[in-house]
């Protein structure tokens, strides 16, 4: 069996998800996208995990999509199996119940930046370069680069990267709001862990619900977040317990409106 290229480790309330293809600058292919989706499911359903750190092994965070993986696809395959599937996987990552911190230990380009943008907090090392070079290849950002990035960082900075091909240093990215903190080279994981420990001391229910409310207010996720909030609220009520008990006993429910 091949070694996993999306590796998960758990230490107390903190899970770490590492992209493990350093020889290819952690470029993503279809199998890795599938592994990433499965890893999100694993972390989300692990009781006690409150924060996840996302990083890359080796000298890159992620160079984005592997050109060899998509370069030979025909148009329908490229649009459906590559772009749309990748978009769904990134949406899964962005909507995790726990806070996600990206430890950007190396360059984050194209899909790599779109990946980092799925995190709630981005901590970048000083040497890092950030950009969206897709138009230089005759393509467009396809994993929410013109959608989530605009909502989170603003349209103009995304225009500069997409239309003008501008590349930013970590400090320039911080000044533009693309990353939250810049740290010395080699220290992003330590900084991310410190920030994760900070989050894990706060109320986990309050953090999860706050993340959902922020998604609604930013226009990133209305339907899913609203339904999740409503379901969480109803699950705590006496009415739900009564409804389930009545169903099991095959009797009419006696709802009392108990919160």
**Helix, strand or coil, per DSSP, at residue 144:** coil
Cα 110–80–122 angle (5° rounding)?
30
Token pair, residue 80, equals: 């459906």
> Has 172 been annotated as catalytic?
no
> Has 134 been annotated as catalytic?
yes
CB count, 10 Å around CB of 153? Answer: 17
> Per residue in 13-49, is it b (16+ CB within 10 Å) or e — as a string?
bbbbbbbbbeebbbbbbbebbebbbebbeebeeeeeb
Say which of 35, 125, 134, 208 is annotated catalytic: 134
**Helix, strand or coil, per DSSP, at residue 92:** helix
Pairwise CA distance, residues 211 & 82, whole Å = 28
Token pair, residue 136, equals: 């230089």
Say which of 114, 125, 208, 220 is annotated catalytic: 114
Token pair, residue 190, equals: 């330590």
- Do 192 and 101 form a contact (C-beta atoms < 8 A)? yes
Active site residues: 114, 134
């Amino acid at each position: 069996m091949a070694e996993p290229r999306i590796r998960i480790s758990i230490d107390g309330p903190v899970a770490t998800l590492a992209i493990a293809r350093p020889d290819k600058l952690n470029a993503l292919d279809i199998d890795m996208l599938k592994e990433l989706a499965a890893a999100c499911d694993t972390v989300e359903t692990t009781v006690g995990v409150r924060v996840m750190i996302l990083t890359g092994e080796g000298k890159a965070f992620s160079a984005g999509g592997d050109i060899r993986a998509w370069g030979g696809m025909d148009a329908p395959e490229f649009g459906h199996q590559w772009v749309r599937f990748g978009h769904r996987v990134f949406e899964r990552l962005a909507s995790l119940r726990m806070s996600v911190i990206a430890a950007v230990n190396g360059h984050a380009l194209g899909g790599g930046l779109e990946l980092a943008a799925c995190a709630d907090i981005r901590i970048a090392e000083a040497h890092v370069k950030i950009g969206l070079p897709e138009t230089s290849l005759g393509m467009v950002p396809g994993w929410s680069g013109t959608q989530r990035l605009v909502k989170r960082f603003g349209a103009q900075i995304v225009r500069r990267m997409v239309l003008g091909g501008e590349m930013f240093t970590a400090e320039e990215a911080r000044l533009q709001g693309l990353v939250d903190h810049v740290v010395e080279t080699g220290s992003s994981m330590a900084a991310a862990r410190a920030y994760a420990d900070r989050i894990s001391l706060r109320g986990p229910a309050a953090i999860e619900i706050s993340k959902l409310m922020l998604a609604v207010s930013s226009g990133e996720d209305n339907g899913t977040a609203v339904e999740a909030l409503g379901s969480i609220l109803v699950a705590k009520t006496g009415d739900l317990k009564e409804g389930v008990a009545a169903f099991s006993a095959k009797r009419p429910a006696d709802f009392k409106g108990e919160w």
